[in-house]
Every structure is written in structure tokens, then in C-alpha cells.
Structure 1
Amino acid sequence: MEEDIVRAVPAAEVAPTKYAWQVRAEGLRVRAGRRVAVDGVDLRLGCGVHGLLGPNGAGKTTLIRCLASVLRPVGGEVEVLGEPLTGRGDLRAVRRRLGYLPQDFGHYKRFTVREFVEYMAWLKEVPGREVAGAVQRAVERVGLADRADDRLRSLSGGMVRRAGIAQAIVNDPELLLLDEPTAGLDPGQRVRFRELLHELGTDTCVVVSTHLVEDVAAACSDVVLVAAGRVVFQGTPAELAAEGGPDDVGDSPIERGYSALLGGAW
């Protein structure tokens, strides 16, 4: 009788999740230069698509950069994927497990799309035998499969942005941080991107920073509205819309709710 073949399963595959929230912050304070741009933020974010909404200068990018471990907090507490973003936290382990698209991301223009996403997969320590498949899935999900072997310098701004999204998801992140991801995308591309967000949000914590209210209304299950470095509202898009009235500024209920909470400031 043939013996059963038993595969050795890495401990990481069977270990229980050690955190209740992908993002947990209490009294978080973060500087942008000399200015405290995030001032006393409390957050609990789990799986789903969370819209980080607010006017320019509200502190959205600073908060995203802190969650991506680019900026260190100067006060309060913050944990990402169960790891504190302080001296005792394992930042390398966090960075392997998250995806991040900055508002302005650097890339080598001579790289092809495939080479760029492969390089980012290598930086994120994706196992070598899995890289080719992971890269192909990522470029297909952003609609660049037919341009995968074109150099980045030959692509439009919207296509380069989609290549940036591909590198952010190539490692199947547990936390995906996207700063103004729809910048440069045409209306059709934005619709397809929203569909991708819905797909990713089923088992991933996705945080989308934007000042475009319509993107939040269409793509997000949860809204975090920030102003002057503080959270002024957290709830569903419908709850945000309910904050507004007919006399508030805006062309839609959610825009009027946004305007009401910010005192008409845009």
C-alpha cells in the first residue's frame, strides 16, 4: 500500500491571525515637515474598501505615508497588521504584507511594465517561483496585459498609473494603501478600477485616499472624512449623504453631506 504524502506546511500558513484590525490608531500624531498634519486620529479599519476623504491639505497623504511606514508617528499609537510602527515593530515584515501606491511614485522609464512589477515583487520578497504568475495576474487585473512588454516611457499617464496599481497588488497584500489612485484615469478606466476595488475589498483592507467625492460614493463601503488633521466623520456613504440638506453646497446628496460637515469648505 502506498504511503500518503504529507506536505510540510509553513507555520505562517496555519498560525492564527494575531490582530483584530488591519489598522488600529489611537491619538495618532504625525508631522509633515514642521507641521503636525495628523493630530489625534483614532481609527479601526478591517477588511473592506475605506475611503479617506477630505480637502487638499487635510492630512490624508501624511496619514497614508504613516500607515505605509514611510513616516514615523510623533505621538499616540498605531498598529498595522498587528505590528506597532515604532522601534519595537518589525517594519520589514509589515512592508512585505502591504501594498502602497504613493500619489507620486518613482519608476524607471526604461523598464517595461513587466520588468517594473517584477522588480517590485522582488523588493517585497515574493518567492522567486511565484513571481512570474503574480506579475501576470497583477497586470491583467489592471488591464495592461497587452502592454506588459512595452516600456513605461511609451505609456500614457493613465497607463503608468495602472502600472503603479499593479505593483501595489502584486504581493496580494493584506493592507492596500492607495493615494489618489484615479489621477490620470479616464472615465472608463475609473469604472473598471472601482470594480477591482470591490473585488479586492472582500478579503483585504483597502484604504483609498482621495478628494473626489464621487469615487468614494461609487467604490467604498466606509468613509473616513478628515479635516485639519482630525477625523470629523466615519460611516457609510449613505450616512455621509444623510448629513447634508438641500441648502448645502453640492450636486449630489453625498457632496452635500461632505459640504455640511466641512462647513462648506472644499
Structure 2
Amino acid sequence: MRTVSAAETAPTTYPWAVDAEGLTVRAGRHLAVDGLDLTLGTGVHGLLGPNGAGKTTLMRALATVVKPAGGRLTLLGEPVGGRADLRRVRRGIGYLPKQFGFYPRFTVREFVEYLAWLKEMPKAEVPGATQRAIDRVGLTAKADARMKTLSGGMLRRAGIAQAIVNDPAVLLLDEPTVGLDPEQRLDFRELLRDVGVDSCVVVSTHLVEDVVAACSDVVLINEGRLVHQGTPNDLAAQGGDGDAGDSPAERGYSALLRKHRAGEGR
């Protein structure tokens, strides 16, 4: 019997979980992501930007739903694009799109188990992983309720459960707090901080306060281009009393967009 070396059993490490250089992605005929340079590692990254900034298209590219039109994109050490085999990469990704489909007669448990199966998780691990994911999003009491009976907020939490069931190395959440009440949003922030200890979490949102409360890194894009990347404190420091917003972070957000639209810092 051959002895397995420590190198063979050690977890795979990557300089960056997400590494994009000159990335371009189309949404139909529109160039929604335009020459984006971005690197993301372990932690919680808040993706901000106005409507039409390219956030959802970028998230779809990171989830390997759409292929880049140009530039370079590497996820978990694997190049994405061309004829690359994406199965291994996809096993390490959790993704919650803005809108997701489901079989209405599935229970929450069946829905999460089904997504675990699609992610090619080992069969023996699925029941336990499913229950943990359901518990983490606060749906324990609704585990055997049919999806069609859930409220909007509960559906969103079921969507988050399927995204985390495989303990992904890259977790992508597009507008995850839609439909959540204030208490659920607080619980969600805690979940993000917990998952972000070992994973790269990217949260696309319009809510600057959620980013400040839960994220260690802020990425601001506009017109498919990177406007700013830094800590929430860095974002807050960009604004002044004359900028729009009810908090320092919101004023920083407004100031950066104003300067970018005016051509400053390009």
C-alpha cells in the first residue's frame, strides 16, 4: 500500500479565489463589464453600484453562467473561458441569483438536497449538509414545508441555504436581502461574517449599510468598470458634507460615483 504524502492531502490554495484582468462580459449585445481588473480573496466583499452598473452580469460571469467575451478570468486557480472544463470549479461555487427557479411542490429539504445533488456532492454527505444549511438560515421549522407555501423572505432564505449547502470556496449572492425583515437581515450579516472566515463571499446589493456592517472589502463599479476597492472606512473617507447620503459610507459612495461620471480618476 502506497503512503499518501502530506502534499497530496493538503487543501488546495490559490493566490486569489477570483482573479480578473481586462475582463469583458456581454449582456446580449451590450458590453456590461468593460475591461475590469479585480482580485478577491478570503473574506466578505460587498459589490456596489447603481442600476445598470454591470453587477448582475459580473456575478453571472463569476458563477460561470455566462462566458467572458474577452480578458482573463481565473476562479479557484482554474481559467474560465473557451472550452475549459468547469465542473471542478462549479463544485466549489455557491450562487444565489436575483431570481431562482424551483419546483413548487418540493419541500425546502427536497429543494436544498436537489441542488446539493446538482453540485455533485457525495451522496452520504447530502442529508447532513442539507440540514446544516437549513438550520443556518433559520428555516428549521419549515424544512418539510412545500416551497409554494413560503413567504418571499422565506424563499430568499431557502435560496441562501442551497447556495451554502456545499460549503463553497466562492459564495456569490445577488441581492440576497430582498424580502428579509430587519431581524433577518441582522442574522444574515452574521452568517456572512461566519462564512467569510474561510471562503470568498461576494454580495451584490444596493444597501450600503449592509456592506458597511458585514463586509471587510467594498468593490464599487459603474458602467462595467472598477471605480473603487477598499475597506468600508476607505469608502466613508471619500465623501464630504456636500455629498448625498445619510451616512459617511453613503456620502463616500455618492462622491466616488460623481467623480467617476465627471471623468475624474479614470
TM-score (norm 1): 0.94
Aligned-partner Cα distance in 2 for 1:117–1:50: 25
In the TM superposition, what is the alpha-carbon distance from 1:19 to its structure 2 partner? Answer: 2.2
Q: What's the RMSD between the two structures over aligned residues?
A: 2.0
- Give runs of aligned pairs for residues 102-141 of structure 1, distance below 5 A: 102-141=97-136
Q: 1:43 to 1:184 in 2, by over 3 A?
A: same
Give the percent of matched residue pairs that are identical in Structure 1 and Structure 2: 70
User: Does structure 2 conserve the Cα–Cα contact (< 8 Å) formed by 1:176 and 1:204?
Assistant: yes
Letter in 2 for 1:132: P
1:228 aligns with 2:228: no
Counterpart code for 2:106: F
In the alignment, does 2:65 pair up with 1:65? no
Alpha-carbon distance in 2 for matches of 1:16, 1:188: 36
Pairs within 5 Å for 1:25-44: 25-44=20-39
Shift of 1:86: 1.4
Which segments of structure 1 move beyond 6 Å, counting only runs of 4 or more? 8-13
* Aligned match of 1:83: 78
Correspondent of 2:179 among 180, 184, 187: 184
Listed as ranges, the gaps of 5+ residues in structure 1 are: 1-5
2:134 is aligned with 1:150: no
Return 5+ residue gaps in structure 2 as ranges. Answer: 262-266
Cα distance in structure 2, aligned partners of 1:199 and 1:10: 31
Match of 2:44 in 1: 49
For 1:141 and 1:181, the matched residues in 2 are separated by 15
Using the TM superposition, give the Cα deviation of residue 12 of structure 1 relative to its aligned residue in structure 2, in angstroms: 9.7
CA deviations 1:213-247 (Å, max 9, x no partner) are: 11111110000000111010000000000000001
In the alignment, which of 168, 171, 179 is matched to residue 173 of structure 1?
Answer: 168
1:204 equivalent to 2:169? Answer no
Conserved 8 A contact 1:112-1:148: yes
Query: 1:107-147, CA deviations, whole angstroms, 9 ceiling, x for partnerless residues?
Result: 11110000000000000011011111000000000000110
User: How many Å separate the matches in 2 of 1:107 and 1:195?
Assistant: 26
Provide the secondary structure at the position in 2 that maps to 1:234: strand
Normalising to structure 2: TM-score of the pair? 0.94
Give, in whole Å, the separation in 2 of the partners of 1:170 and 1:9.
29
After TM superposition, the structure 1 = structure 2 runs for residues 239-250 of structure 1, keeping only pairs within 5 Å, are 239-250=234-245
Cα distance change, pair 72–198 in 1 and its aligned pair in 2 (3 A)? same
